[in-house]
Amino acid sequence: MAGRGRASGHGGVALCLLLLVGLVGCGGKPATDSARTDLQRILDRRATAVLDRDRAAFVRTGALSWFENLSAVPLAAWSYRVTALHRTGATATADAQLGYRVQGYDGAPVTVGRTLKLSRDAGGRWYVDAEQPARKSPQQLWDQGEVTVVRGKHSLVMGVGQSGEALHSYADLADRAVPAVSDAWGTDWSRHVVVVVPQSLAGMAGLLGSPSSAYRGIAAVTTGETGAPARAPADRIIVNPDAYGVLGALGKQVVLTHETTHVATRAHTTPATPLWLSEGYADWAGYRDSGRTPAQAAPELQEAVHAGRTPAALPADQDFGFSGDATELARAYEAGWMACRMIAEQWGEVRLDEFYRAVGAHQKRAGAVEDAMKKVLDTTPEEFTAQWRDHLRAELG
């Protein structure tokens, strides 16, 4: 989500001969560089206006646009960095990198690409006619409408097109999820979450920069940087209100606890971590205190086992793709959950946590699971898979 690359200036060849086609003066800066400097000053004032909630100062830099949409968002920082300027007479288009931090949640700025449509006023000053997400960059929630903010004990919930009552219900779920995850995983994480609730599936897709078809039927996803250091932007749990809304009370709690688990485990989730482990562990934490049996929580996998189609191997990463068959996706999640549940039951919950961390401590996938299984569980992948298949037949057969 970083900004685009820098545009080159006119250079320094035959400077005095190029006075009429782009230079301020012999030995001076290129006009493009000067214009970018002027624009950067305007955007610096624009950023200050956002932080100060100064409507009049913001309007002096450009159209009001989304300014009032984010008035409720608690901001700790907001800044722009111009990365390219494309001029056409009195108008221009600029690429910029926006960095912002939500107060109390982001340890480092969230950075996103923005495109600005510009014109010059009578005094020759830049004026921002429009600001929108750059190509291939996701929308921000305030691009979609006025943001309503609700604070919970362990959560910050931001929504568009949602009632305060609805957002409070998300905060209640998140506030129950955080201590539940800490009880399962431990307390070496932030112990708070940011939940983002757009108006619809289309809004969710816009926040993720993907087509709606990729998330139809998916109740929520968590964004964040795997293996992130302590000083990093907070993960965002982004809800699909269309799919989430049809879940029952237990289903809603399981989903929020699952996604909160991803937030808690993020620093120990690396390219070495297979999805059957990261998703299976999140489901294990989600169902841990629910009282749900394997038959209740893994119906698609049970059907396959009943039909004599017990999986031959743990699910591969590609089995978790959202755009594939919904039944196969459900079986992949259920299979990962059953694997983590088996570890918790037969080796203990402490060993399950140790195994997760041991896998994530590797830099690469190759050998990570094998090494962690040997050191933590005293087994091999082949023995573990055979034991898991027997476990599926015993619990679901």
The residue length of the chain stands at: 397
The whole-number pLDDT of residue 183 equals: 98
Single-letter code of the amino acid located at 154: H
Does 323 have pLDDT greater than 60?
yes
The whole-number pLDDT of residue 231 equals: 67
What average pLDDT does range 365-383 have in this prediction? 98
The whole-number pLDDT of residue 124 equals: 85
Measure the CA–CA gap between 375 and 269, rounded to whole angstroms: 18
What average pLDDT does range 58-85 have in this prediction? 97
The whole-number pLDDT of residue 204 equals: 97
- Which tens digits make up the pLDDT trace of 247-305? 999 999 999 999 999 999 999 999 999 999 999 999 999 999 999 999 999 999 999 99
* CATH code at 15-137: 3.10.450.50
Residue 230: pLDDT band with limits 50, 70, 90: low
10 Å CB burial of residue 90 (0-12, 13-18, 19+) is exposed
Q: In what order do the strands lie in the sheet with 91-102?
A: 75-88, 91-102, 110-120, 126-133
**What are the residue ranges spanned by the domains of the chain?**
15-137, 140-265, 270-397
| 240 within 8 A of 164, measured Cβ to Cβ | no
* CATH code at 140-265: 3.30.2010.30
Measure the CA–CA gap between 79 and 251, rounded to whole angstroms: 39
Does 141 have pLDDT greater than 70?
yes
DSSP string, 115-169: EEEEEE-TTS-EEEEEEEEPTTPPPPGGGSSPEEEEE-SSEEEEEES--HHHHHH
The whole-number pLDDT of residue 115 equals: 98
Does 25 have pLDDT greater than 50?
no
Contacts of the segment 359-367: beta carbons below 8 A, 24+ positions apart: 359/272, 359/273, 359/274, 359/277, 360/227, 360/265, 360/268, 360/269, 360/270, 360/272, 360/273, 361/268, 361/270, 361/272, 362/270, 362/272, 363/270, 363/271, 363/272, 364/271, 364/272, 365/271, 365/272, 365/274
> For a pLDDT cut of 70, what percent of the chain falls above it?
90
Does 392 have pLDDT greater than 80?
yes
Does 205 have pLDDT greater than 80?
yes
Measure the CA–CA gap between 202 and 241, rounded to whole angstroms: 10
Phi and psi at 328, nearest 5°, equal: -65, -35
Residue 227: pLDDT band with limits 50, 70, 90: low
221 C-beta neighbours (distance < 10 Å), count: 19
What average pLDDT does range 359-387 have in this prediction? 97
Q: Mean pLDDT score of the chain, rounded to an integer?
A: 90
Measure the CA–CA gap between 155 and 241, rounded to whole angstroms: 18
Residue 123: pLDDT band with limits 50, 70, 90: confident
Angle between the N-to-C axes of helices 381-396 and 299-306, in degrees from 0 to 180, rounded to the nearest 10: 90
What average pLDDT does range 178-186 have in this prediction? 98
